[in-house]
Homo-oligomer: A and B are copies of this chain.
């Protein structure tokens, strides 16, 4: 662990990462920390906050740039370790490393262009009737130390130096990361990069800590610690809602940004199916099976309007699934949950398995693709069919007619994304669907696929519960910095006492 700049070995049990391709245990072992380590990290973060929040935007931007550059300098070691610990193919790991570095630089850019300062200035109007107006100026200030929970499926981009860490540091908030225990070696490598960058930039050591520990003990202790002001989390629905409960039970409740669960409905309209049903089938499976389906935006639900082209879609998708090799899943736990989810669909009386991907018994944690179908009636009446199956499995709901889409979509829980495929003659139908989708999702995609989240200024990676615990935010893109800021007004504060960005 890194506790305020110091390398510390926990006093709890030792965990080893597992190579999910081979089942081989990886060295070294990592001893888990406990509540006392959380306390040390959080207390140091609170002390560091007083200094860190007053650094200039340029100082924080330079800090983020150093983290990005060093991460890439050490790319070979990081990429190798990520592959060992997660089984993610090299090309995707390299892409994720670049994305993670670019994400840090994106927030450096936000600091340099000042776009997140939230400055609003209303000069005094001493002559205003009936009452003079005071001089009022507003800006955003950092919220305080942030607890970040690393996700297993993005060991770089949603982990130790991931989006939440980058956004929090950019905001001026110290960060305490709870590493995901499925990639402790990666976490150590990345944690060292941040801790060293803090030293290099003369920042207080408490600006960054990394703890290893059990979620129910160390994770809960972190979310409950009085020095922590906000939580960023990406993971399961049960994990996220547990953290929200901890945060709400505190004497001083704090915001929790938990990204949890989404089936990412894909709506296939008649015109699109008629034009290119088979192509859409291939596209679906390509999106579905990326990273063994272990993506938050994985298309786990298809609403297929039956008619011309719907058969071609299903045949093509089924063929593509059958041709898909098994891929290693991230961990035993993820693999187990996936098998249970698949089994629940397979044994459901209203569900038909239309295709199964290739199996590979040589993998320690194999992920095999699956394609299921069910009826609109079954989907409408059985909530069990709405649950996310995290992995390369999609449930195709056969929808008799376009008119049947509305009640199905209106009954959906909150989602990260919804995708609509439109073709000739579909525009009116799609135009009526967009407002319905806006009520339920964070991002609407037309004629594309939900996987592959672009990191920029306009992206939203969020959505209504249970997609996230707070739909007012995004975990990807520049808007994410607002998670860790709040507004403060300055009334008649003389220039000498005003923060620099609020002076005339």
Contacts and interface: CB of A to CB of B under 8 A. Distances in A.
Given A134-B448, A497-B431, A497-B434, A479 B472 contact: no
Given A444-B493, A474-B487, A491-B445, A460 B253 contact: no
B244 A459 contact: no
A465 B252 contact: yes
A455 to B, nearest CB: 10
B442 A487 contact: yes
A448 B323 CA distance: 73
Contacts of A414: 252
A469 interface: yes
Nearest to A53: B435
Contacts of A143: 471-472
Contacts of A466: 252
In this complex, the interface size class of chain A, counting residues with CB under 8 Å from chain B, is 35 or more
A344 interface: no
A54 interface: yes
A54 B95 CA distance: 40
B50 A493 contact: no
Nearest to A471: B486
A349 interface: no
Interface in A434-461: 434-435, 438-439, 441-448, 452, 454, 456-460
Nearest to A479: B487
Contact of A489 (B133, B443, B494): B443
A75 to B, nearest CB: 15
Interface in A413-429: 413-414, 422, 427
A459 B255 contact: no
Given A442-B487, A472-B486, A479-B487, A431 B244 contact: no
A290 interface: no
A489 B431 contact: no
Contacts of A43: none
Interface in A462-504: 462, 464-466, 469-474, 479, 482, 485-494, 496-497, 499
Interface string A44-84: 00000110011000000000000000000000000000000
A358 interface: no
Contacts of A469: 253
Nearest to A241: B253
Given A130-B95, A253-B244, A439-B144, A492 B446 contact: yes
Which of A445, A466, A486: most chain B Cβ within 10 A?
A486
Contacts of A244: 248, 253
Given A122-B456, A472-B486, A492 B138 contact: no
Given A122-B457, A244-B248, A253-B465, 14 more contacts: A133-B456, A136-B456, A248-B248, A253-B469, A422-B497, A442-B489, A443-B488, A446-B493, A446-B494, A460-B489, A462-B487, A472-B482, A472-B485, A479-B487
Interface of A: 49-50, 53-54, 95, 98, 120-122, 130-131, 133-134, 136-138, 141, 143-144, 244-245, 248, 252-253, 255, 413-414, 422, 427, 430-431, 434-435, 438-439, 441-448, 452, 454, 456-460, 462, 464-466, 469-474, 479, 482, 485-494, 496-497, 499
7 A-B pairs closest in CB distance: A460-B489, A136-B458, A443-B489, A120-B458, A122-B458, A138-B458, A445-B491
